[in-house]
C-alpha cells in the first residue's frame, strides 16, 4: 500500500486547485490535501497538519509564495516547497531556487507536477536517512575507538587490515553523502532551469537550439538515474539486514503499482504462481523485484506483449543432486523464486556477465539504463546468503533463478504449502 502524502496547497483560485488535484490523482498518487490562501491559516496548518510538501501559487492578493517560504525558513522547517504558477518569470524562479525553494512547476504544464512532488519527497527522505547514517557512524566510531584502546594487535597484518576496513567504511560513507547531496542538488537545479527555459524561451530558440535543449535534458535525466542506481547499490551493500517473515504477494502488488504505466503501455501480463512467504529484508526484496520486472519489460521484443511468470517453491535439503547441480553451498532447505520472461533474451555465454556492474550487452541508444540494476539484484541475493543464476536464449527470453537458505521459521513450508496460491495478472 502506498504511503499517503500530506500536501499543503496555497491557492486562491478554486479552478486551479481542482485542476492540480485532478492531475495528482490521475498520476496514481495517494494524498491528503489542505488548502488555504491566508497567512494565519498557513501558520496554523504547519503545526496542525504537519505537511510532507508545500505547493504554492506565486502571487495571491493577501499572501504569496515568497512570504510563505520565508515563514517556513524562519521556523527552521525542512519541508519541500514547490511554486506552482503561471505568472512567475524566469528571473524570479531562478532567484527563488537559489534562495532554497525546492522546485518550480508551471500551471501550463501540470502533468509534470506529480514527478516533481515525488522527487522532492524522495530527496528529503534521503537527506534524513543520510543524517541518521552520519549519526550512527559517529556512535559506531566512538564505540570502535573505545574498543580499540583495549585491543593489542598480535601482528602488523591485523593492524593493517583494521586500518583498511576503517578507511573503506569512511570512503563508503563519503560516497553516500556525495551521491545523496553534492551530486543530486546541482543536478536538480540544472533540470529545473532547463524546464524553465523550455517553457519561457522555447519560442526564441532555433530548431537546432530546441534539439540541443532536449539533449541536455535527456543527459541530465540519465545522470540522475545513474546517481540513484549507484546510491541504491551502496545502500544494499551497507545497511543492516532486518529480516521479516513476509507475504511476497504484497510486495509484488506494490511493485506492479509502481510499474503500472509501462505495464499498461506494453500490454504486459505478470503471472504469479504459488508465491510462498519468506524471511527477507523487505525493502531490499522490493528493489530486487522492481529491477527484475523492469528489465523484463524493457527488454521485450517489438510486437510481442511481455509475459512474465514468477514462481516459488521449497528445495528440501534431502535433494542433494539438485543442490549439487545448482552449486548451492549450504546443507539446508532453500527457498527458490524463478522469474521468467519472453523478451529478447541473451546469449548463454553472457549468463554470468549480466551481473557485472556497468556491463551492457546491448547498445545504450537501443535500450536505456545504467548497467547497475542486475548488480544490485545480485548484491541483494548475497545479502540473503543466497545464489542467483541467469539463463538466456536469444529471441526466447530470460530466466532468473534465486535460491535463499530457508530460516527456521520456514522449515515447515515444504510440508504445509502444497498448492499454488493463484495467479495475479
pLDDT in tens, the chain (425 residues): 457 899 999 998 999 999 999 999 998 889 999 999 999 999 999 999 999 999 999 888 888 888 999 998 888 878 899 999 877 777 787 888 888 888 888 888 889 899 989 888 888 888 888 878 888 888 887 887 777 666 655 566 677 776 776 666 666 656 655 555 556 667 777 777 777 777 777 777 788 877 877 777 767 766 666 666 566 656 655 555 678 888 899 999 988 988 888 899 989 999 998 888 888 888 888 889 988 998 899 888 888 899 999 999 998 887 877 777 777 777 788 899 999 999 888 777 776 777 774 455 444 444 455 567 788 888 888 888 888 888 888 888 899 999 998 875 444 333 333 333 333 32
Name the DSSP letter for residue 423: -
Dist. CA 320–CA 334, nearest whole Å: 11
Sheet arrangement for strand 307-315: 269-273, 307-315, 334-341, 397-405, 387-393
246's CB contacts (< 8 A; 6+ apart) are 277, 278, 279, 280, 282, 285
- Global pTM value: 0.50
Residue that is written with C-alpha cell 517560504 in the block: 69
| Domains assigned to the chain | 5-113 (3.40.50.2300), 152-238 (1.10.287), 244-416 (3.30.565.10)
Residue that is written with C-alpha cell 488548502 in the block: 35
389 three-class SS? strand
* Closest listed residue to residue 49, CA positions, set 27, 11, 79: 79
Positive or negative CA dihedral for 404, 393, 343, 422? negative
213's CB contacts (< 8 A; 6+ apart) are 194, 197, 198, 202, 205
Per-residue burial over 129-145, b = 16 or more CB atoms within 10 Å of its CB, e = otherwise: ebeebeeeeeeeeeeee
Amino acid at each position: 500500500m502506498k504511503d499517503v502524502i500530506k500536501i499543503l496547497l496555497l491557492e486562491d483560485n478554486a479552478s486551479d486547485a481542482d485542476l492540480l488535484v485532478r492531475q495528482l490523482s490521475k498520476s496514481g498518487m495517494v494524498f491528503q490535501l489542505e488548502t488555504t490562501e491566508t497567512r494565519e491559516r498557513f501558520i496554523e496548518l504547519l503545526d496542525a497538519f504537519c505537511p510532507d510538501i508545500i505547493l504554492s501559487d506565486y502571487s495571491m492578493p493577501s499572501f504569496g509564495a515568497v512570504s510563505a517560504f520565508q515563514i517556513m525558513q524562519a521556523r527552521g522547517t525542512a519541508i519541500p516547497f514547490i511554486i506552482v504558477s503561471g505568472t512567475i518569470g524566469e528571473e524570479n524562479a531562478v532567484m527563488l531556487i537559489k534562495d532554497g525553494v525546492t522546485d518550480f512547476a508551471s500551471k501550463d504544464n501540470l502533468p509534470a507536477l506529480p514527478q516533481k512532488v515525488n522527487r522532492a519527497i524522495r530527496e528529503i527522505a534521503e537527506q534524513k536517512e543520510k543524517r541518521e547514517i552520519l549519526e550512527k557512524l559517529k556512535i559506531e566510531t566512538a564505540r570502535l575507538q573505545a574498543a580499540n584502546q583495549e585491543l593489542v594487535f598480535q601482528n602488523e597484518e591485523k593492524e593493517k587490515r583494521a586500518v583498511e576496513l576503517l578507511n573503506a567504511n569512511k570512503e563508503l560513507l563519503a560516497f553516500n553523502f556525495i551521491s545523496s547531496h553534492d551530486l543530486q542538488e546541482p543536478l536538480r537545479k540544472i533540470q529545473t532551469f532547463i524546464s524553465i527555459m523550455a517553457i519561457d524561451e522555447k519560442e526564441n530558440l532555433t530548431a537546432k537550439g530546441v534539439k540541443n535543449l532536449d539533449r541536455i535534458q535527456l543527459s541530465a535525466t540519465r545522470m540522475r538515474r545513474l546517481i540513484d542506481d549507484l546510491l541504491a547499490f551502496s545502500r544494499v551493500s551497507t545497511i543492516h539486514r532486518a529480516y521479516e517473515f513476509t507475504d511476497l504477494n504484497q510486495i509484488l502488488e506494490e511493485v506492479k503499482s509502481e510499474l503500472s504505466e509501462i505495464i499498461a503501455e506494453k500490454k504486459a501480463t505478470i503471472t504469479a504462481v504459488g508465491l510462498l512467504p519468506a524471511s527477507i529484508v523487505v525493502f531490499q526484496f522490493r528493489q530486487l523485484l522492481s529491477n527484475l520486472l523492469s528489465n523484463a519489460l524493457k527488454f521485450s521484443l517489438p510486437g510481442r506483449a511481455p509475459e512474465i511468470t514468477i514462481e516459488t517453491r521449497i528445495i528440501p535439503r534431502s535433494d542433494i543432486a539438485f543442490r549439487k547441480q545448482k552449486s548451492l553451498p549450504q546443507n539446508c532447505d532453500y527457498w527458490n523464486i524463478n522469474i521468467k520472461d519472453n523478451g529478447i533474451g541473451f546469449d548463454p555465454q553472457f549468463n554470468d556477465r549480466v551481473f557485472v556492474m556497468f556491463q551492457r550487452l546491448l547498445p545504450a541508444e537501443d535500450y536505456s539504463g545504467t548497467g547497475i540494476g542486475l548488480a544490485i539484484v545480485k548484491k541483494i541475493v548475497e545479502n540473503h546468503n543466497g545464489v542467483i543464476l541467469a539463463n538466456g536464449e536469444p529471441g526466447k527470453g530470460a530466466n532468473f533463478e534465486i535460491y535463499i537458505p530457508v530460516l527456521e521459521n520456514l522449515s515447515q513450508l515444504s510440508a504445509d504449502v502444497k498448492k499454488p496460491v493463484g495467479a495475479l495478472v
